[in-house]
Amino acid sequence: MIKIVTIAGARPQFIKAAPVSRAIAQQEGLQEVLIHTGQHFDQNMSEVFFDQMEIPRPRHFLNIHSLSHGAMTGRMLEAAESIMISEKPDIVMVYGDTNSTLAGALAAAKMNVPVAHVEAGLRSHNMEMPEEINRILTDRISRILFCPTEAAVNNLSREGFRDYPCKIHLTGDVMYDASILFEGKARKPANVRLPLSFVLATIHREANTKNPARLASIINGINRVAEKKPVIFPIHPRTYKVINGNDLPPFSRNIKVIEPVGYLEMLYLLKNSRLVMTDSGGVQKEAYFFKKPCITLREETEWTELVDAGYNKLCGTDPDRIHAAALEFLTGTLDFKEGLYGKGNASAMIAKALSDS
């Protein structure tokens, strides 16, 4: 029996873990133990995902959050190492690019336990992003790299990974698996009256929320879009805190700010929206899964294939660029093609590779 210790702690990681954990449970010879770092601790940011997505309850909960990057990563590393000493895993699996990802990978690598990285090979080429540092370092110390796209495989090849002691697997994207698995269970957010046609907006990335001027610029852009079509805005706790603590532009009356939503409610909003505006990497892909154009509120993206295909426009925080892109998407049509992120069997491929490792 191969024991896999999975480390997760942030909303996107729970979404990715749901189909993979199911596939692991169905793969003979695999056993999974989940460590929840606590990086996302709000009810609607983590706990609700265990209920909605039927993720196995974590055996270990670290409750580490609301610290600086260094302090958070260090405390997670120390706690994860202690658990690994007692659990004695054969493989440690991490997802994405958060502090939880890097801490888990470092703890395992220093104990000579093989690291499997789901969503390996992504690059924004912006070293000011904490996520970029996390993903590069995690890739380098991983022995099993599960890449969602050909572009991710090519990134690793350019960085010399073919010469490293690791295995690279092109699997497709596990978030696509999740969208297929749970689309039929999507449900309307409770106590929210939705217009017939609306734009869905999310803002959470630290580069935008820690800078009031950038956030003000984004709000101005979204306000201009709201002049054309109502906007639904599930607000991230970090964003809410910054907005309340600074003198920022008021939201247009055509913007409905709602509480953070669970995954099934987010799927409903994505399916029923006309356009998506976000600084989230995962939401960019989810927009594509449901054939929605996307405006990315950043100057770069890990998901370059979406930009190349014309489904995604990088607009940064400039209100004019945001408004112009929204007008183009709202008045035009796109012919979404299939297959950018695999066939919906990435999780099964990952479980089989882990079994064969």
What's the pLDDT at 66?
Answer: 78
In a domain, 179, yes or no: no
User: Do residues 21 and 150 both lie within one domain?
Assistant: yes
Per-residue pLDDT of the chain (357 residues), as tens digits, is 999 999 998 888 989 999 999 999 999 999 999 999 987 655 454 566 677 777 778 899 998 987 888 999 999 999 999 999 999 999 999 999 999 999 999 999 999 999 999 999 999 999 999 999 999 999 999 999 999 999 999 999 999 999 999 999 999 999 999 999 999 999 999 999 999 999 999 999 988 998 899 999 999 999 999 999 999 999 988 888 888 878 889 999 999 999 999 889 999 999 999 999 999 999 999 999 999 999 999 999 999 999 999 999 999 999 999 999 999 999 999 998 878 999 999 999 999 999 998
What's the pLDDT at 55?
Answer: 77
Provide the number of structural domains found in the chain: 2
Interacting residues of 153 by C-beta distance below 8 A, sequence separation 6+: 121, 147, 168, 170
Taking alpha carbons only, the member of 72, 134, 103 closest to residue 5 is: 103
DSSP-derived letter for residue 228 is T
What's the pLDDT at 244?
Answer: 84
In a domain, 58, yes or no: yes
User: Do residues 42 and 144 both lie within one domain?
Assistant: yes
CA distance 81 to 105: 10
User: Do residues 17 and 165 both lie within one domain?
Assistant: yes
User: Do residues 9 and 152 both lie within one domain?
Assistant: yes
User: Do residues 21 and 166 both lie within one domain?
Assistant: yes
Q: Which residues are catalytic?
A: 204
User: Do residues 129 and 233 both lie within one domain?
Assistant: no
User: Do residues 95 and 242 both lie within one domain?
Assistant: no
Give me the residue label for tokens 């929840």. Answer: 36
Helix residue ranges per DSSP H, the chain = 11-26, 48-53, 69-87, 99-110, 130-140, 150-158, 174-182, 206-209, 212-226, 237-245, 263-272, 281-289, 304-308, 319-331, 346-356
User: Do residues 349 and 323 both lie within one domain?
Assistant: no
What's the pLDDT at 67?
Answer: 83
What's the pLDDT at 51?
Answer: 74
User: Do residues 217 and 107 both lie within one domain?
Assistant: no
In a domain, 336, yes or no: no
User: Do residues 203 and 166 both lie within one domain?
Assistant: no
Q: How do strand 115-118 and strand 30-36 relate by DSSP bridges?
A: unpaired
What's the pLDDT at 40?
Answer: 65
CA distance 121 to 136: 8
How would you label 5-27 residue by residue, b for 16+ Cβ within 10 Å and e otherwise?
bbbbbbbbbbbbbbbbbbbbeeb
Neighbours of 137 (CB within 10 A): 16
Domain containing residue 88: 2-173+342-356
Q: Domain containing 117 — which CATH number? A: 3.40.50.2000
Neighbours of 116 (CB within 10 A): 26
User: Do residues 191 and 163 both lie within one domain?
Assistant: no
What's the pLDDT at 38?
Answer: 87
Q: Are 155 and 135 in contact (CB under 8 A)?
A: no
How would you label 257-282 residue by residue, b for 16+ Cβ within 10 Å and e otherwise?
eebbbbbbbbbbbbbbbbbbbbbbbb
Give first-to-last CA distance, the chain, whole Å. 12
What's the pLDDT at 247?
Answer: 85
User: Do residues 165 and 193 both lie within one domain?
Assistant: no
